Amino acid sequence: MKNAYSLTSEEYQKILLGQGNCCAICGRHQDTLIGKCNVLCVDHDHKTKQIRGLLCRFCNSRLGWYEKHKTLIVNYVNPDGGFRGFGRPSSARRPKLF
């Protein structure tokens, strides 16, 4: 039986075993996951639909958030020292917090 990613249960198990039954990002073992979150999610590229691996729900949701906000995050941590968060131009300096 195939799921939304055209992945059979045998293919899922092969990926799971290849990852040592652990999340591909944080490395948490599937047996340590609790409740509804006790299975690893199929992670895929939303553009190509290619499967990248299996993730715990925590990492899967954070990765999705990061992918949606990547440009803002990269601009914010830009090594040139210019603060680019919230659409500010790179010439603007980081605000002083203290």
Tens-of-pLDDT digits for all 98 residues of the chain?
A: 456 668 899 999 999 999 999 999 999 999 888 876 778 999 998 888 889 999 999 999 999 888 888 888 887 777 665 555 555 555 555 555 44
**Could you give the number of structural domains in the chain?**
1
Output the domain CATH number for residue 23. Answer: 3.40.1800.10
Report yes or no: 38 and 44 within 8 Å, Cβ to Cβ.
no
pTM, two decimals, is: 0.69
Domain range spanning residue 44? Answer: 9-87
18 within a domain of the structure (yes/no): yes
64 within a domain of the structure (yes/no): yes
93 within a domain of the structure (yes/no): no
94 within a domain of the structure (yes/no): no
